Amino acid sequence: MQFGIFSVGDVTTDPTTGTAPSEAERIDAMLQIALKAEEVGLDVFATGEHHNPPFVPSSPTTMLGWIAARTERLKLSTATTLITTNDPVKIAEDYAMLQHLSGGRVDLMMGRGNTGPVYPWFGKDIRDGIPLAIENYHLLRLLWRERDVSWQGRYRTPLQGYTSTPFPLDEVAPFVWHGSIRSTEIAEQAAFYGDGFFHNNIFWDLGHTAQMVDLYRRRFEHYGHGAADQAVVGLGGQAFMAATEAEAKRTFRPYFDNAPVYGHGPSLEDFTRQTPLTVGTPEMVVERTLGFADHVGDYQRQLFLMDHAGLPLPMVLEQVEMLGTEVVPTLRAEFERRRPAHVPSDPPTHASLVAAGPDSPHRQVISSPVARAEKERAREQAQAEAVAR
């Protein structure tokens, strides 16, 4: 099982000091956190993608390329790649280049984003969010699997005989997760292609999370990719740790109470009851995280948010250290002890996709859900006309 951290890259004032990092300091902090993740044995560092203040990670591939040059083992991912507002042609180029530079240590998570104004900034309409996600991703798959792409859609200019460059490393596209917290269409899209589904459940109760994951699992099996419990699932989480629960709450409370997203809302106690946020000892984080699988089944990737709400860098690095040395070793052992033999322990990697060979399902072009639905409607219409005759 893979464990790691993800960052949204917020620039937030530390409520205990009244100071905020500069953009340069925040960017540097994210880089230092990624290096610390590898140092303490974590598997994944993922960055969000944002194009508005107070966030800084507007160019994930630039950041991940820097990290790739300074790490050897760490898997590089995104917590969101905006499949709606980014041109899929540019996504294909940028992430294939990163794949080459990192020796295949890259995957990415597609998402629509949660900032409405971003759509018009990039010439898109937020009301087209779902169909944009469907059409753009289908084109991206084509670009990563076919060297001569002729394509026409609704939301961008047609392509005629186009070849994306560089082509994916070893002619194997990066593995893709689809991230969603409430859109059933995205869970369906992930299942249709046999891709991973990441439910970033940091603001949601586990009942809702279980419903979304169950939908994805059932549709994954429906489309013939394997049994439902073999579907590739990832979850988000949050934690703040100290030697005692009281110390953890005392230290973290001012950051929680003033956080831009959930500050001035539910109490810390209510929020920890209702969501995966755990504020306490490393042992409490272990117990809480192991319980996730009781709701969603055995899964393959767990990412934690550790560096938000104005927490100073030294404190975050200490949290990452505890996560890597006191929490994750126990989680690895316990998750694998309970996992059935037929359920994959890890999501696909570049090495495993290469080993699967050119005829593996991940390497094949699959008609998009839209194209498949149109063909089905045409078939039904033809049948109806035949009956009428």
Residue 146 has what pLDDT? 95
Question: What is the model's pTM?
Answer: 0.92
Distance CA 315, CA 247 (A): 14
Residue 208 has what pLDDT? 93
Q: What is the mean pLDDT of residues 1-19?
A: 96
Is the model's pLDDT at 353 over the cut of 50? yes
| Domain residue ranges in the chain | 2-388
Closest by CA position to 83, among listed 121, 44, 46, 138: 138
Average pLDDT of the chain? 92
Binned at pLDDT 50, 70 and 90, residue 354 comes out as very high
Is the model's pLDDT at 172 over the cut of 60? yes
Is the model's pLDDT at 387 over the cut of 90? no
Q: What is the mean pLDDT of residues 304-312?
A: 96
The answer as to CATH 3.30.200.20 being correct for domain 2-388 is: no
Residue 389 has what pLDDT? 59
111-125, 195-209, 348-362: range with lowest mean pLDDT: 111-125
Residue 122 has what pLDDT? 85
Residue 178 has what pLDDT? 96
Q: Do residues 61 and 101 lie in contact, with contact meaning Cβ atoms separated by under 8 Å?
A: no
Residue 205 has what pLDDT? 86
Residue range 68-114, pLDDT digits in tens = 999 999 999 999 899 998 999 999 999 999 999 999 999 999 988 76
Helices (H) and strands (E) in the chain, counts: 14, 12
Is the model's pLDDT at 343 over the cut of 50? yes
If one compares 262 and 230, the residue with the highest pLDDT of the two is 230
149 Cβ contact partners less than 8 Å away, ≥ 6 residues apart: 142, 143, 159, 161, 162, 163, 164
Burial degree of 105 (CB within 10 A; 0-12, 13-18, 19+): buried
Residue 359 has what pLDDT? 85
Q: What is the mean pLDDT of residues 332-360?
A: 95
Residue 114 has what pLDDT? 66
Is the model's pLDDT at 369 over the cut of 90? no
Q: What is the mean pLDDT of residues 319-334?
A: 98
Residue 194 has what pLDDT? 96
Binned at pLDDT 50, 70 and 90, residue 118 comes out as confident
Question: For tokens 């609704």, what's the residue?
Answer: 154
Question: For tokens 């869970």, what's the residue?
Answer: 187
Distance CA 115, CA 51 (A): 9
Distance CA 136, CA 370 (A): 11
Residue 377 has what pLDDT? 55
Cα 115-121-125 angle, rounded to 5 deg: 70
Residue 379 has what pLDDT? 47
Is the model's pLDDT at 177 over the cut of 50? yes
The phi-psi region of residue 32 (left if phi > 0; otherwise alpha if psi is between -120 and 50; otherwise beta) is: alpha
Distance CA 300, CA 291 (A): 14
Residue 73 has what pLDDT? 97
Residue 39: CA count within 13 A, CB half-sphere: 12
Binned at pLDDT 50, 70 and 90, residue 307 comes out as very high
Residue 260 has what pLDDT? 83
> Which DSSP string do the residues of 98-149 spell out, in sequence order?
HHHHTTS-B-EEEE--S-TTHHHHTT--GGGHHHHHHHHHHHHHHHHH-SSE
Residue 373 has what pLDDT? 54
Rg, Å, the chain Cα set: 21
Question: For tokens 């560096």, what's the residue?
Answer: 307
If one compares 65 and 127, the residue with the highest pLDDT of the two is 65
Q: What is the mean pLDDT of residues 250-256?
A: 97
Is the model's pLDDT at 385 over the cut of 90? no
Distance CA 264, CA 287 (A): 28
Binned at pLDDT 50, 70 and 90, residue 1 comes out as very high
Percent of the chain with pLDDT over 90: 80
Q: Which residues are paired to 78 by β-bridges?
A: 47
Distance CA 65, CA 97 (A): 9
